Structure 1
């Protein structure tokens, strides 16, 4: 696969934030953010308000490859409640559960980056996803 050259050595060109929101999402897959490449993924944040069993999934896909895909229940069971080298942290504040994704180095995407939320539980009030990215 041929790759493009990054022009901003030592930094990220044109940093941006893209946000997606779903209010009262029905069960199933919901695309929150979709970016066309090339670009650099810096970080993401997804917050879920409500729900009853945490069997809902967060998925980050880059160029057709699933980079991250876990349910909220699995994140809790696996102990991802503090900073770690994997690049994911789950923080619960009241009825809101926040997932942050960020790796030690920017991840390059050539074609596209997609942040999705798969609702597998009832009573979710809303889901908000943010992706911070830059040009490559």
Structure 2
């Protein structure tokens, strides 16, 4: 079992964010210890890890909540959940490809500045 402080550190989230996720139904109802403090188990951490990955890669909280609700419904939603993740994965890959193209343009511009500002020879530059 993990305290809210431990979970905050593990996932770099604030306590208010964790409470918000719980209140909005994005996290399952979190158990509490005898003093009323939230305690997280491994399955909740596993879900939180996926939640953070989905959110950080652009999935909206409503879509995440819908996905979680499907998970509660059980195996009858396996195909739907799989399709949601495949679609999201394709969106992430597309955005990543665009970002990598932009990064390459930025790197080329830095090389130009290295030549002009630092007076480096092009043969001496590495990316």
TM-score computed with the length of structure 2 as normaliser: 0.25
> Which protein shows a greater Rg?
2
TM-score for the superposition, normalised by structure 1: 0.24
Higher share of residues assigned strand: 1
